[in-house]
Every structure is written in C-alpha cells, then in structure tokens.
C-alpha cells in the first residue's frame, strides 16, 4: 500500500502540471509583463529622499481667499521651466476664426506656482506636464474653464530665486 502522504504529493504535482499545460499562453504573457515592469523600474532613477514641506511648496500655506488649481500645460518642456515660488501668467492658446489660425489670451496674471511634480521620480511623470497654482477664488473657474478648452502656456514674471 503506497504511503498516503506520497499519494497526496503526486496528486498535487499532477494538478500543477495540468494547470500549467492548460494555461501556458496566459502564464507566458504574465511573465513577460512582469519582466518588462521589472526592467522599467530598474531603469528608473532612484527616488529622491522625502523632504519636509516648506512654505513655498505646501498647499497648506495658501493665502487667505486663494485656492490651489492644478493645470496641464501644453508641453512637458514648459512644466520644466517653472519652479515652486515662481510668479507666472497663464496664457490660453486655442484655434479660432482668427486669420492667423490661433487666438491667445492671458487667463490669469501674477499667480504663484505652489507645486511642480518631480519628473525624475517616475518614468511617467514627464508625460503629464501638470503644475499647481495659487489663484484667487474668483479666477479659479475661468482658469479651469480655459484649461479644459485649449492649450495652456506659461509666461514667467519672476523666478523664485529672484524674489
């Protein structure tokens, strides 16, 4: 009489073999996906050490009557030109019936940048050029409306280092 433990082990081996044989392609796809994910995380630059929030970079330090509004700029290069604390104008650029084919207008003037996501911490961060601005409540809705209907660009009035 065969040992009951040996029989259970052999039955488990048979079930595993049958499972793998029947699901060979999905298992290969999952393995390839995991390999690609591991390769991408290996290429990613090391994460920056956690920093204490500062007055210039924390949304908790908004002035009274102001709100923080995240906006997506038209290109990642524009987002890399600004830093926390910069004072900027936001320009809306949209196609219109203008003879030149575009219409541009300043949506908000002299607003402060309170957050710029770090492009070095993730391989997807550079793909979405988002910055967070401190704007008066009355200007928040026009800014959000402009960001939904057109491309936004930034004009730097004053860099944070030249305050």
pLDDT tens digits, one per residue of 20-42: 888 888 888 888 888 887 777 77
* Structural domain of 19: 4-43
The residue behind tokens 């928040």 is 140
Q: Is residue 51 part of a domain?
A: no
Mean pLDDT computed over 61-84 = 85
Q: Are residues 15 and 65 in the same domain?
A: no
- Count Cβ atoms below 10 Å from residue 71 Cβ, excluding itself: 21
Q: Are residues 143 and 67 in the same domain?
A: yes
pLDDT for 74: 80
Q: Is residue 126 part of a domain?
A: yes
Q: Are residues 39 and 63 in the same domain?
A: no
Q: Are residues 86 and 154 in the same domain?
A: yes
- The CA R_g of the chain, rounded to the nearest whole Å, is 26
Coil vs helix vs strand at 151: strand
């Amino acid at each position: 009489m065969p040992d009951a433990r040996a029989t259970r082990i052999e039955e488990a081996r048979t079930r595993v073999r049958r499972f793998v044989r029947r699901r060979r392609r999905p298992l290969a796809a999952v393995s390839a996906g995991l390999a690609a994910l591991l390769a991408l995380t290996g290429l990613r630059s090391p994460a920056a050490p956690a920093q204490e929030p500062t007055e210039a970079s924390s949304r908790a330090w908004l002035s009274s009557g102001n709100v923080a509004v995240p906006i997506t700029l038209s290109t990642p290069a524009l987002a890399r030109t600004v830093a926390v604390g910069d004072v900027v104008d936001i320009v809306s650029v949209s196609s219109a019936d203008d003879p030149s084919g575009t219409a541009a207008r300043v949506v908000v003037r002299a607003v402060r940048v309170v957050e710029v996501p770090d492009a070095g911490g993730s391989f997807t961060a550079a793909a979405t050029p988002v910055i967070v601005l401190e704007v008066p409540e009355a200007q928040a809705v026009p800014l959000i409306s402009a960001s939904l209907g057109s491309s936004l660009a930034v004009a730097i009035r004053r860099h944070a280092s030249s305050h």
